[in-house]
Amino acid sequence: MKTLPKVFICPQHWGLGHVTRTIPVIHYFLRKGYPVVLGSSKAGSDLLRLEFPNLKVYELPDYGITYPFKNMYLNMGLHLIQMHVAIVKEFFAVRKICKKEQIGMVVSDARLGAAQPGLPSVIITHHLHFNLHNRFFEWVSDVWMRFFYMRFNQIWVPDIDGDINLSGDLAHLFRSKKHYFIGILSRFKPMQLPVRYDCAFVLSGPEPQRSYLEEELLLQAKELMPSKLALVRGTKSGKSLTKERETYGEHLEIMDFVSGPALNELICSSNQLVCRSGYSSLLDLCIVGRSALLIPTPGQPEQEYLASELKRKGIFYCTSQDELSLKQDLALAKEYPGYQAMDLGKSMEVILDERLAVLLKKP
């Protein structure tokens, strides 16, 4: 029997979405008997340790991406040099881990510097095209991203091929012989549970925008009283909310992190949801069949594109962070159904079996 290679799985930490959507991929490799080592940074590493306490988790360089400006061009310009430095550091950090652990395969989620010469490598991404409303800037950014993506042996896109899909132009305008649609990645499952919360705020994403939204939601939550609310902060390093805990008392349950199963139950037992329009959040909403009020991160073109498209198609209601009127927006969000029943095609397990047979040249 052929020995399976040890796999290093390293999701990016731009918020927690890249980490959460790799969780079903990690479980896939464990079910198949692959030895697995993990790597991420900051809150991403914390979440991996929570979900996989028996696996080794390495700390990798963090890209340190923040969104201080509402203008996406300013945000991109600010981080261009910073990202290149982080990618170089990441490459050497991953190489060191691969030598130490005798890694036989690398699976990255959005870590552009993780590909290693001589090792089979995969990158998980849905963001293969930038919608910047300017053809020249789109071309430049697409060429830049393509340079890094094509260094991997395969590109796994968490979406469905065809006209009915989640990512739209972000993934479906890309052309290559290396990219494959692997279905909807989510650690969740649909659950029919009694309503526990009137509304749940599920936050993540880069600072300082995560904190800005948290502050605004907590301020406007007064208008929802005496509702039962839940706040999942998605960070351990946010400011103390002692005052807010005292103000809302038993009407507001505040959590820094929750495990996947606990968050699955929280979402399915909440009457309404508020979250970012991050792609991983949309994957989860697709699987559990829930609607939500979407608030894209200001200056993040991917989230702004997804939110506007979903609102245009009548699937989700969205509003900007600056224009948030929580009570009114929640009432409007009830009129939007979320994802309807979708044909998800082949299971992730079948697709990954096929991809790995080619990548590892298994008989």
Residues 320 and 307: their CA atoms lie apart, in Å, by 9
The pLDDT assigned to 1 comes to: 55
Question: In CATH, what number does 197-333 get?
Answer: 3.40.50.2000
Percent helix / strand / coil, the chain, rounded to 5: 40, 15, 45
The pLDDT assigned to 247 comes to: 87
Residues 113 and 125: their CA atoms lie apart, in Å, by 14
With 80 as the cut, is the pLDDT of residue 77 above it? no
Neighbouring residues of 75: CB distance < 8 A, sequence distance ≥ 6: 67, 68, 69, 299, 300
Residues 261 and 362: their CA atoms lie apart, in Å, by 34
CATH architecture of 7-183+344-359: 3-Layer(aba) Sandwich (3.40)
Looking at per-residue pLDDT, the higher value among 202 and 163 belongs to 202
Name the pTM for this structure. 0.85
What single-letter amino acid sits at 132?
Answer: L
By DSSP bridging, strand 36-40 and strand 121-124 are unpaired
Angle between helices 43-51 and 17-31 (to 10 degrees): 30
Distances (CA, A) of 104 to 26, 118, 222: 15, 9, 53
With 80 as the cut, is the pLDDT of residue 141 above it? no
Answer yes or no: are the C-beta atoms of 107 and 8 closer than 8 Å: yes
Looking at per-residue pLDDT, the higher value among 134 and 86 belongs to 86
CB-CB neighbours of 194 under 10 Å: 6
For the chain, the structural domain boundaries read 7-183+344-359, 197-333
What are the strands of the beta sheet with 179-181, ordered from one edge?
57-59, 36-40, 7-11, 105-109, 121-124, 154-157, 179-181
The pLDDT assigned to 78 comes to: 61
Distances (CA, A) of 157 to 10, 88, 168: 16, 24, 12
Mean pLDDT, residues 278-302: 92
With 50 as the cut, is the pLDDT of residue 99 above it? yes
Mean pLDDT, residues 216-243: 91
| 7-183+344-359 and 197-333 share one fold | yes
Percent of the chain exceeding pLDDT 90 equals 65
Residues 69 and 297: their CA atoms lie apart, in Å, by 10
Residues 58 and 10: their CA atoms lie apart, in Å, by 9
The pLDDT assigned to 132 comes to: 60
With 90 as the cut, is the pLDDT of residue 350 above it? yes
* Pair of tokens at residue 179: 């990219």
Percent of the chain exceeding pLDDT 70 equals 92
Split at pLDDT 50, 70, 90, the class of 238 is confident
Mean pLDDT, residues 63-82: 62
What single-letter amino acid sits at 131?
Answer: N
With 50 as the cut, is the pLDDT of residue 363 above it? no
